[in-house]
């Protein structure tokens, strides 16, 4: 057997190890991105969940100014910290609307009283139907929707304090 | 030790927070009264991938979102929609990722061609074997 053939299995093994190390060092992005970015928001009309909050429909989002639509829930842990960042965005003039996934009125009222309430409108999506029609795969997620009701950007996972400039620029671009 | 147990208990309880307080959607774990429609829904649900437990189909997953998707599939099938239309609707939102059924897109060509390639390699190996025997 020639030398090259004898070392072939070793080279093969090293190649496999190299591939594994590379994949461990740079993991695959397992987020499922909505393919609706750049497309109009699917039509929806959600009922209100709290008496003090107007409901949310797709028509409320095509009003000529960009909106940030936050898909959230009172039972979602990362949403607790995110809502404070949303408050900061609201203070910078970003209109924020919420889609509450599988939520109950008392739980949501408690959540907002405890963590702050940046939302102009909140629609109740009790069976995740609007969430699925948006191509969203979990909570929290946020969509930048421009004045014509076109989805311009999808944020998967909570908006962190460090994401504020990025979100502000996305809103600016959607103007 | 006590502190360790406390931390362990906190870690163990985490997944419980990840679910809502609402009951499952009506059709999520209930069969359609029409057996033909239920069979169609089952076949489709086996081929739609769960967004939460990404290795499972929505038929197998216990995630709430999978339950809501089963409800959506059964409702639409009961309303007379074709399974392929429902699949297309989901692909429009989540991309081909959502469907387990292999597509005919160029990205999937190696998958379709692999069996023929493997057959050719096999034929070549067998031929070589036969030749070697004859030679010996």
Please write the tens of the pLDDT for every residue from B55-85: 999 999 999 999 999 999 999 999 999 999 9
Are the Cβ atoms of A132 and B72 closer than 8 angstroms?
A: yes
Check residue B13 and give its pLDDT: 56
The complex's ipTM? 0.87
* Domain annotation covers residue A154: yes
- Overall domain count for chain A: 1
Are the Cβ atoms of B94 and A35 closer than 8 angstroms?
A: yes
Using an 8 Å CB-CB cutoff, list chain B residues near A127: 25, 68, 71-72
Check residue B103 and give its pLDDT: 82
* Domain annotation covers residue A87: yes
Please write the tens of the pLDDT for every residue from A94-144: 999 999 999 999 999 999 999 999 999 999 999 999 999 999 999 999 999
Q: Average model confidence (pLDDT) for chain A?
A: 94
pLDDT higher at B41 or A29: B41
CB B32 within 8 A of CB B77: yes
* Domain annotation covers residue A73: yes
Check residue B42 and give its pLDDT: 97
CB A103 within 8 A of CB A75: yes
CATH of the domain at A131: 3.40.30.10
Are the Cβ atoms of A32 and B93 closer than 8 angstroms?
A: no
* Domain annotation covers residue A128: yes
Check residue B12 and give its pLDDT: 60
DSSP state of B106: G
Q: Are strands A96-101 and A121-125 parallel, antiparallel or unpaired?
A: parallel
Q: Rounded CA gap, A87 and A93, in Å?
A: 10
Check residue A124 and give its pLDDT: 97
Q: Rounded CA gap, A135 and A150, in Å?
A: 14
Two tokens, residue A132: 């699925």
- Does residue A170 surpass a pLDDT of 60? yes
Q: Using a CB–CB cutoff of 8 Å, tell me whether B69 touches chain A.
A: yes
Are the Cβ atoms of B92 and A134 closer than 8 angstroms?
A: no
Count the helices and strands in chain B (H runs, E runs).
5, 0
Two tokens, residue A73: 């829930």
Q: Where are the domains of chain B?
A: 25-101, 105-136
Q: Stretch A39-64: mean pLDDT, rounded?
A: 95
Q: Rounded CA gap, B98 and B101, in Å?
A: 9
Interface test with A, best of B20, B23, B95, B99 (most A CBs within 10 A): B20
* Domain annotation covers residue A103: yes
- Does residue B41 surpass a pLDDT of 70? yes
- Identify the sign of the CA torsion B36, B80, B68, A132: positive
Order the strands of the A96-101 sheet from edge to edge. Answer: A121-125, A96-101, A67-72, A141-145, A151-156
* Domain annotation covers residue A39: no
Check residue B126 and give its pLDDT: 94
C-alpha distances in Å from residue B18, one per residue of A76, A79, A147, B9, B119: 6, 11, 33, 16, 48
Q: Rounded CA gap, B75 and B37, in Å?
A: 10
C-alpha distances in Å from residue A67, one per residue of A26, A41, A49, A170, B30: 34, 12, 20, 10, 38
- Does residue B110 surpass a pLDDT of 70? yes
Distance from CA of B15 to the nearest CA of A (A): 11
Check residue A9 and give its pLDDT: 93
Question: For residue A92, what are the domain limits?
Answer: 58-174
| CATH assignment, B25-101 | 1.10.8.640
Q: Which of B18, B71, B93 sits opposite A133 (nearest CB)?
A: B93
Check residue A144 and give its pLDDT: 96
Q: Rounded CA gap, A155 and A96, in Å?
A: 14
Check residue B84 and give its pLDDT: 95
- Does residue A82 surpass a pLDDT of 60? yes
Q: Per residue in B27-49, is it b (16+ CB within 10 Å) or e — as a string?
A: bbeeebeeeebbebbbebbebbb
Q: Using a CB–CB cutoff of 8 Å, tell me whether A65 touches chain B.
A: no
**Percent of chain A clearing pLDDT 90 (strictly above):** 93
Q: Stretch A53-67: mean pLDDT, rounded?
A: 94
Q: Using a CB–CB cutoff of 8 Å, tell me whether A103 touches chain B.
A: yes
* Domain annotation covers residue A9: no
- Does residue B136 surpass a pLDDT of 90? no
Which of A2-16, A60-74, B7-21, B41-55 is least confident?
A: B7-21
């Amino acid at each position: 057997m020639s030398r090259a053939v004898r070392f072939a299995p070793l080279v093969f093994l090293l190649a496999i190890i190299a591939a594994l190390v590379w994949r461990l060092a740079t993991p695959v992005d397992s987020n499922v991105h909505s393919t609706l970015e750049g497309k109009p928001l699917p039509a929806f009309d959600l009922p209100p969940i709290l008496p003090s909050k107007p409901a949310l429909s797709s028509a409320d989002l095509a009003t000529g100014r960009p909106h940030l639509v936050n898909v959230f829930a009172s039972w979602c842990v990362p949403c607790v910290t995110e809502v404070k960042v949303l408050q900061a965005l609201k203070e910078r003039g970003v209109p924020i609307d919420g889609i509450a996934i599988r939520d109950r009125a008392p739980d949501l009222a408690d959540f907002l009283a405890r963590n702050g309430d940046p939302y102009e409108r909140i629609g109740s999506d009790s069976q995740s139907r609007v969430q699925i029609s948006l191509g969203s795969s979990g909570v929290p997620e946020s969509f930048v929707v421009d004045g014509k009701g076109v989805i311009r950007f999808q944020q998967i996972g909570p908006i962190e304090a460090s994401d504020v400039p990025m979100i502000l620029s996305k809103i600016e671009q959607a103007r | 030790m006590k502190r360790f147990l406390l931390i362990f208990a906190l870690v163990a309880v985490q997944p419980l927070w990840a679910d809502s307080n609402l009951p499952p959607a009506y059709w999520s774990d209930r069969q359609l009264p029409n057996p033909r429609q239920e069979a169609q829904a089952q076949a489709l649900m086996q081929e739609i991938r769960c967004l939460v437990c990404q290795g499972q189909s929505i038929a197998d997953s216990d995630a709430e979102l999978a339950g809501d998707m089963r409800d959506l599939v059964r409702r639409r099938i009961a309303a007379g929609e074709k399974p392929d239309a429902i699949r297309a609707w989901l692909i429009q939102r989540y991309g081909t990722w959502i469907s387990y059924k292999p597509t005919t897109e160029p990205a999937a060509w190696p998958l379709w061609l692999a069996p023929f390639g493997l057959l050719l390699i096999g034929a070549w190996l067998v031929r070589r074997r036969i030749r070697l025997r004859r030679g010996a």
